[in-house]
Amino acid sequence: KQEVTQIPAALSVPEGENLVLNCSFTDSAIYNLQWFRQDPGKGLTSLLLIQSSQREQTSGRLNASLDKSSGRSTLYIAASQPGDSATYLCAVGMDSSYKLIFGSGTRLLVRP
Amino acid sequence: EAQVTQNPRYLITVTGKKLTVTCSQNMNHEYMSWYRQDPGLGLRQIYYSMNVEVTDKGDVPEGYKVSRKEKRNFPLILESPSPNQTSLYFCASSLSASQPQHFGDGTRLSIL
């Protein structure tokens, strides 16, 4: 059974720092992997989606990488800002059936 | 504006009183899904649908029903709610399993 783990559970950094969030999964036979952001009292916002055949995706200051063989994905945030403070979740799609398995998230605080 | 709309946003009710949480999307998406989010357990998929009249169980379907009679709507039905169904519920949709998911703002259910 696929298990998705995110470490650390919480992270506090000063503004301007580059940071990396980690996501690991136990079954490497994945269909895709998504990174989401969740703000308090809000739903999830999709940040990046990496298909199983891809190694990375970039959007602005965000870069997500995928290494299926090691069961890992990282989300790199460059030059962090207080507005980046939120909970970041990764989710693994196992096949084209739309089943998603989520990690428990990393709560990020960027201090001014 | 492209969006996923859930109603109600908040509901306090009593054990055994049937309730329905509605979900509607205006993006002509094929795929829709329901999740519940609980502290310490993260987001777990309840049911999903890949098209009209096509639904399938997620990881925690017990105590829930869904229907997909038209593409835009995917209601979640609790026939006989119990206190262990107190949770934050999210509806999501996407064009396909390879496309990012769009989430609603959530429905907070309290069952006494």
In contact, A37 and A87? CB cutoff 8 Å: yes
In contact, B33 and A98? CB cutoff 8 Å: yes
> In this complex, do A43 and B104 lie within 8 Å of one another by their Cβ atoms?
yes
DSSP A56-67: EEEETTEEEEEE
- Nearest residue of B to residue A32 by CA position? B98
> In this complex, do A43 and B105 lie within 8 Å of one another by their Cβ atoms?
yes
In contact, A28 and A68? CB cutoff 8 Å: yes
Task: List pLDDT tens digits, range B64-80.
Answer: 999 999 999 999 999 99
**Does the pLDDT value for residue B93 go beyond 80?**
yes
Residue to mutate among A34, A44, A50, with most B CBs inside 10 A, is: A44
Closest alpha carbon to B34 in B15, B83, B109: B109
Task: List pLDDT tens digits, range A21-69.
Answer: 999 999 998 999 999 999 988 889 999 999 999 999 999 999 999 999 9
B8: Cβ contacts below 8 Å, ≥ 6 apart: B21, B107
